[in-house]
């Protein structure tokens, strides 16, 4: 807690010198952000053939697991703003991967489903996800991976 108070200004920089990130690198928020960006960059490389972004991946995975969810359920569970979710899902519909189905018991509601094409797509997506996770596990080790997930979980209730 008191470690930041120890930070002292250091000498003048010279051009070309690589700036010292030391203080920042020791801060959890900064380290998290840099790691997240590195992992998402690997995600984008891995999923380039499917032209899939992380939020789209999450929605498809969730609907594959639980067909028929309401828009608000998926948006809330994934912490996506409702308006953003609508346009994200419109994109999946336009690609023929997902569809909205009217709910008999509630005229205002729609439930969300994958199309048959979406099911095939999700299967390919999951195979690529396993490769992508494999890259991360190769860096972390299986124990390190489990440790990391447990530590990250603790940060969700700040």
Q: In what order do the strands lie in the sheet with 69-70?
A: 69-70, 106-114, 98-103
19 binds a second copy (CB under 8 A): yes
Q: Which listed range, 61-69, 84-92, 93-101, lies at the site for a second copy (CB under 8 A)?
A: 61-69
Q: Measured between alpha carbons, how far is 97 from 99 in angstroms, rounded to an integer?
A: 7
Q: Measured between alpha carbons, how far is 21 from 27 in angstroms, rounded to an integer?
A: 10
Least distance (Å) from a second copy to the CB of residue 96? 19
Per the CB < 8 A criterion, the answer to whether 125 and 98 are in contact is no
Instruction: Return the residues of window 62-91 that contact a second copy according to CB under 8 A.
Output: 62, 64-70, 73-74, 77-79
CA-CA-CA-CA torsion sign (41, 42, 48, 54): negative
Taking CB under 8 A as the criterion, the residue among 40, 86, 102, 120 binding a second copy is: 40
116 binds a second copy (CB under 8 A): no
CB closer to a second copy out of 70 and 99: 70
Taking CB under 8 A as the criterion, the residue among 21, 48, 86, 101 binding a second copy is: 21
Question: What's the token pair of residue 19?
Answer: 């700036």
102 binds a second copy (CB under 8 A): no
């Amino acid at each position: 807690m008191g470690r930041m108070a120890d930070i002292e200004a250091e000498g003048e920089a010279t051009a070309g010198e690589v700036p010292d990130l030391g203080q920042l690198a020791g801060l959890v928020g900064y380290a998290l952000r840099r790691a997240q960006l590195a992992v998402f960059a690997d995600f984008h490389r891995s999923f380039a053939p499917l032209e899939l972004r992380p939020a789209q991946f999450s929605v498809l995975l969730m609907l594959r697991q639980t067909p028929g969810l309401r828009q608000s359920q998926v948006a809330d569970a994934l912490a996506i703003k409702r308006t953003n979710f609508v346009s994200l899902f419109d994109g999946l519909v336009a690609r023929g991967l997902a569809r909205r189905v009217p709910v008999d018991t509630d005229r205002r509601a729609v439930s969300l489903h994958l199309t048959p094409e979406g099911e095939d797509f999700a299967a390919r997506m999951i195979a690529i996800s396993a490769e992508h996770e494999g890259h991360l596990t190769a860096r972390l080790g299986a124990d390190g991976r489990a440790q990391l997930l447990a530590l990250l979980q603790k940060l969700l209730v700040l």
